[in-house]
Structure 1
């Protein structure tokens, strides 16, 4: 259950202080506010523009500029970029994505990953090769050493690819994670990310799993809950992860704590009107329809947030460092957010007043990803695609379909651009050559001001497993001169090498930097799980730490110890920190045994036959991974009200034929006399077992009580529905309900 805090006078003062802090931090010499016209462009051209023409439509704060890095025909439908440790760029191209309004051929293996290089140092890619061809919608890439791990859509399997002869084409393919179960969810509701975090875990969105590198393989570590999020995942210098949920219309979520401890969002974490957006052109092609438009026909709310990154480079103004950038391709804009920590809680706030960092009047500009590059600049991936919504939402009868056709957006395919963000007075950094660097040089690289270099140095050191550099790493950890980010990387590298001594770890419990103390506490968790009483004694003084973040981390980590000593310490933390909602939440959750909600569910369905119990429990996981995005984790809806509540719903508790039809074909509003900005997308592409599990869970949780749904029920209704490809209305479903009841079913 998410913590629902009460607004207090003290908290109001905190927010006011935060807002003043943000305003001050954005005041940079020579930087004027972002471009904001008196009136939006109400008649923008829908014509395709060249990259040079398109850049003229883009507006940035004073001093910032875009440079073209690559464009069609070199890359087409790009969705993500990564670099290997030598600075070669890999581009994932979803070349089958929405090639017409029906999504024809979307599952065909015609996509690819391109390898790009800048051979003359001018910042523009001039060498191209197809690194991997014949892929199905590649969505995640992770460079290791000289290998690239790739994930395709509709599968959980992960493969690494390697070019053994240097011709720019992968000729070695190795499975590094094996799971043959198909992932039949809509491609917009599948995992993304695959980022190697500072804690040496590799994180993704959606799936309740993270990975650890072990001798060439990725080993899964299960999470108790889905971390949420959709397209895009990023982390800051301290390993804090930032997710984004386009389906839930929540641009920044689950950034309060590591997903290993479960999902957590506070109602106040997005300051003021953070969810409102400010495009400079009308937005006819918004899935939410008129409810998502202002009177001037501009988008009023995030509806496609994705591709976020925390800027961690060193070749843009220092005021940008640590800022969160979020793409909004429907609004043709990119948000810049300040990230603020106050008493252990993290807040995000628009860096500008009713304006955006980057806006464009090019109707085909579709920013879908951002990233800090090896040169210290920030990169923007522009899919430059007419349709930015998957076919489940563009069917006959949808709001979007006529808007797309009226503006000929379905005609813009086969394009794509990658830009580099630069600033006056700054020169991009040098090209890296870390794959050939020795371990000693990689240790020195942990002091680089650009987070991209530090990340790669740590990753290569852990992959190599070279413990000979342990003394140098220990020296960095204890250094009074090294930057905090350097010391953190050195500490986590030692942990990744399994070379961190108990003596050094104990010293970190009293380190001057709270971030080091927090990291040290996290590192103890495997030892706490083994019941190490000596370690608990060493940790006990941290209950009185002067920094809330340290007490919160202590409370979170103590859940891994099931000893009476740990529980006593948790109770003491809770008693002495009642004024801090995060400490209270962390201690409460850590004192609970397992997942309280699932334990209650198990008790509630204990009377059922075991096959039915399995249906419900499997459905709980499916629901949390997908349905909770719009309906909320408890089925009560979200604050953004993108979908109706399921808890206590008459349709959920009523005749199963109705809810099966909704899952198979979708539902269009209004629902119960309320208009929602979204349609319920069809889930009929999923297997019968999956749908039966989800419906069985929904009908036996959240206060609902109805019969479970079996595979044969889904098959029967599929036959009755036939080849229908449009969403249901409530009037139609009422007729179905009455017809079924008349038959006595």
Structure 2
């Protein structure tokens, strides 16, 4: 990532000064095809969009202190409209701004905010809501509602939902919460006083002794796909992006009769001796392969080394696709163009991406005619 503002110490000033940045939102239309893929540019002239979530004809984007929606109204594959939905989130510390935009049922977008950001935000309807320090929140897709649904941890750089709808998060630092099942309205420990309610008790450690090592866990990808995914021995596994150690850790969760989770460390999926390898996000694609975003930077710390140090790489980045040798190249169905009657079939797919794409279409099309079928299935 490269901007004209790297030497400006105050993030607030950076947002004001930069009329246009050098960052872009890219789209890989068919990432599952063989060979390197050339992306198309959906939006450019951006400054550090730290989270992007596709939705209908556009994307939600965290851009500085704002949540914006970029839409493609004429269908040419390029954003032509830009709307600020929610304004005024804290930007005091760029690596703790709101992040991990994640679509959840009921027309909500969930997200997390780290411990050193605070502000009073203005919603799309003009309502003002304080949102300070370490909080877990959600906003409605129209930007008119904002709710706090949890508090604590210092930086939650993961929001992964399994095929049963259970959400997993983790603390960026290895403080006993490198894996945690998210419970709504719970307070997790933090460097700062962050309480969901004034009398909240703090959630006990969930992964003591797991010992992944590192201070920047930045993503969880859940392997649950018996149709196009990894073989059986790699099913029900959490793959954790660990940029500090240059590894993809493997963790198997289990839950007892009381609903309490425990976690077993497995052999790492990947360990690299390339000092530039910095996996900062992981996600399973529609083809069942694991995609890894690699920041590709020898220096990844934020305070210890100056921002203009010559060893910092501000232009390069890599995306890796990891495929098990047993996986056949997959032709991914176009769920968006599927007939209404076919959507329940897609919903029942063992491939999580395909199932969720069907859920999104059923919601988007408001297909109440499918309710009897869905009831029978349930």
Give yes or no for the alignment of 1:136 onto 2:47: yes
Q: Measure the CA separation in 2 of the matches of 1:332 and 1:194.
A: 24
Which of residues 84, 89, 94 is equivalent to 1:187? 94
Aligned match of 1:458: 359
Which consecutive residues of structure 2, in runs of 5 or more, have no partner in the other structure?
114-134, 189-201
Check 1:103–1:315 CA distance in 2 against 1; reply closer, same or farther (3 A cut).
farther
Which protein has the bigger helix share?
Answer: 1
* CA contact 2:347–2:358 (8 Å) conserved in 1: yes
Query: Cα deviation per residue 1:589-616 (whole Å; 9 max; x = unaligned)?
Result: xxxxxxxxxxxxxxxxxxxxxxxxxxxx
* CA contact 1:101–1:394 (8 Å) conserved in 2: no
Check 1:224–1:418 CA distance in 2 against 1; reply closer, same or farther (3 A cut).
closer
Matches within 5 A, 1:68-147: 94-96=1-3, 108=18, 109-118=21-30, 121-122=33-34, 124-126=36-38, 128-147=39-58
Check 1:228–1:260 CA distance in 2 against 1; reply closer, same or farther (3 A cut).
farther
Aligned match of 1:204: 111
Aligned length: 336
Query: Cα deviation per residue 1:689-742 (whole Å; 9 max; x = unaligned)?
Result: xxxxxxxxxxxxxxxxxxxxxxxxxxxxxxxxxxxxxxxxxxxxxxxxxxxxxx
Q: Measure the CA separation in 1 of the matches of 2:259 and 2:31.
A: 46
Q: Measure the CA separation in 2 of the matches of 1:389 and 1:120.
A: 32
Q: How many Å apart are 1:367 and its aligned residue?
A: 0.6
Corresponding residue SS for 1:393: coil
Check 1:472–1:120 CA distance in 2 against 1; reply closer, same or farther (3 A cut).
closer
Aligned match of 2:204: 266
Aligned match of 1:293: none
Give yes or no for the alignment of 1:238 onto 2:174: no
* CA contact 2:32–2:329 (8 Å) conserved in 1: no
Which of residues 346, 352, 357 is equivalent to 1:445? 346
Q: How many Å apart are 1:350 and its aligned residue?
A: 0.8
Give yes or no for the alignment of 1:164 onto 2:73: yes
Aligned match of 1:393: 304
Q: Measure the CA separation in 2 of the matches of 1:120 and 1:333.
A: 23
Q: Measure the CA separation in 1 of the matches of 2:252 and 2:4.
A: 33
Which of residues 231, 234, 239 is equivalent to 1:317? 231
Q: Measure the CA separation in 1 of the matches of 2:323 and 2:169.
A: 26
Give yes or no for the alignment of 1:469 onto 2:378: no
Give yes or no for the alignment of 1:173 onto 2:100: no
Aligned match of 2:117: none
Which of residues 337, 341, 348 is equivalent to 2:255? 341
Check 1:124–1:224 CA distance in 2 against 1; reply closer, same or farther (3 A cut).
closer
* CA contact 1:315–1:428 (8 Å) conserved in 2: no
Corresponding residue SS for 2:276: coil
Give yes or no for the alignment of 1:383 onto 2:295: yes
Corresponding residue SS for 1:469: helix
Matches within 5 A, 1:271-670: 273-276=209-212, 301-313=213-225, 314-342=228-256, 343-352=258-267, 356-390=268-302, 392-394=303-305, 409-410=311-312, 412-477=313-378
* CA contact 2:231–2:326 (8 Å) conserved in 1: no
Check 1:265–1:321 CA distance in 2 against 1; reply closer, same or farther (3 A cut).
farther
Which consecutive residues of structure 1, in runs of 5 or more, have no partner in the other structure?
1-93, 277-300, 396-400, 478-745
Q: Measure the CA separation in 2 of the matches of 1:370 and 1:429.
A: 19
Once superposed, what is the RMSD of the aligned Cα atoms? 3.1
Q: How many Å apart are 1:222 and its aligned residue?
A: 2.9
Q: Measure the CA separation in 1 of the matches of 2:145 and 2:40.
A: 31
Check 1:227–1:330 CA distance in 2 against 1; reply closer, same or farther (3 A cut).
closer
* CA contact 2:53–2:59 (8 Å) conserved in 1: yes
Query: Cα deviation per residue 1:620-651 (whole Å; 9 max; x = unaligned)?
Result: xxxxxxxxxxxxxxxxxxxxxxxxxxxxxxxx
* CA contact 1:383–1:415 (8 Å) conserved in 2: yes
Query: Cα deviation per residue 1:675-696 (whole Å; 9 max; x = unaligned)?
Result: xxxxxxxxxxxxxxxxxxxxxx
* CA contact 1:253–1:265 (8 Å) conserved in 2: no
Q: How many Å apart are 1:415 and its aligned residue?
A: 0.8
Corresponding residue SS for 2:145: strand
Larger Rg: 1
Check 1:249–1:125 CA distance in 2 against 1; reply closer, same or farther (3 A cut).
farther
Q: How many Å apart are 1:146 and its aligned residue?
A: 2.3
Check 1:252–1:101 CA distance in 2 against 1; reply closer, same or farther (3 A cut).
farther
Q: Measure the CA separation in 2 of the matches of 1:236 and 1:119.
A: 22
Check 1:219–1:369 CA distance in 2 against 1; reply closer, same or farther (3 A cut).
same
Q: Measure the CA separation in 2 of the matches of 1:339 and 1:97.
A: 43
Check 1:123–1:227 CA distance in 2 against 1; reply closer, same or farther (3 A cut).
farther
* CA contact 1:340–1:348 (8 Å) conserved in 2: yes
Q: Measure the CA separation in 1 of the matches of 2:76 and 2:366.
A: 28
Query: Cα deviation per residue 1:169-189 (whole Å; 9 max; x = unaligned)?
Result: 1112234x32x3241231111
Q: Measure the CA separation in 2 of the matches of 1:358 and 1:120.
A: 20
